[in-house]
Amino acid sequence: MNVIETKNISKLYKQADQDIKALNDVSINFKKGEFTAIVGPSGSGKTTFLNTIGGLDSPSSGKVLIDNNEITKLNSNQLIDFRLRNIGFVFQSYNLIPVLTAKENVEFIMLMQGSSKSIRDKRSVELLKSVGLDDQLNRRPNQLSGGQQQRVAVARALASKPKFVLADEPTANLDSSSTSNLLDIMSRLNKKEKMTFIFSTHDQRVIDRANRIITLEDGKILSDINVK
């Protein structure tokens, strides 16, 4: 079953007197439970593609459908609500809230969803335990290493039980040990939670774990290979 489908999406940016096509007529779909790596050189359109299918950016033309809902037709408030209930994001820069503890950062999405305190407490502790941070619940981001912060970001992305998780260069700032641990966690949670993971990455270690590799170049799909 397709959970994401794009139909002829293009994204144009103005740069001086020029139109730059970050995405150029991209049509593709993703099935439930995929673990996909989007690869390509810098400027190929990877991050723009993730932002577009995640509703953080709008295409200049074309459609994005998630579970047959055309998110490109939603207004701003509808889109915020849709993202909140369906999509988990993991960013290269972690994007944790500095004044909140690890547990509070994971709880934040559930708080916005209106979940009860007991549900927030239970799931946040379970998720932080699953990423090996049950002994760091009350530490703020500046008291955690980069690898630990990224694991909090993964737990937060999963807290809302999204249908799929978008991860933009999630291992770019991590050492080999942290990367391996993070990918083990994501693979395990992908299988356990049955969520679709889509990565934008240059990291061969991420690519080696993927079961599908999509190569972008100049905003177009150069290749699309199922490897496992």
Amino acid present at 33: G
pLDDT at 119: 94
Q: What is the pLDDT of residues 14-65, one digit of tens each?
A: 877 788 889 999 999 999 899 999 999 988 999 999 999 999 999 999 999 9
Joined tokens for residue 228: 């496992």
Average pLDDT, the chain: 90
Statement: residue 199 has pLDDT above 90: yes
Q: What is the pLDDT of residues 114-145, one digit of tens each?
A: 999 999 999 999 889 888 898 999 999 999 99
pLDDT band of 209, cuts 50, 70, 90: very high
pLDDT at 53: 95
Statement: residue 193 has pLDDT above 80: no
- Residues 139 and 218: their CA atoms lie apart, in Å, by 42
Provide DSSP, 161-203.
--SEEEEESTTTT--HHHHHHHHHHHHHHHHHH--EEEEE---
- Residues 83 and 203: their CA atoms lie apart, in Å, by 26
Least confident span in 132-146, 159-173, 209-223: 159-173
* Domains with residue ranges and CATH for the chain: 2-226 (3.40.50.300)
Average pLDDT over residues 170-188: 83
- Residues 14 and 185: their CA atoms lie apart, in Å, by 40
For the chain, how big is the Rg over CA atoms in Å?
17
- Residues 170 and 38: their CA atoms lie apart, in Å, by 12
- Residues 59 and 17: their CA atoms lie apart, in Å, by 20
Greater confidence (181 vs 141) lies with 141
Statement: residue 10 has pLDDT above 90: yes
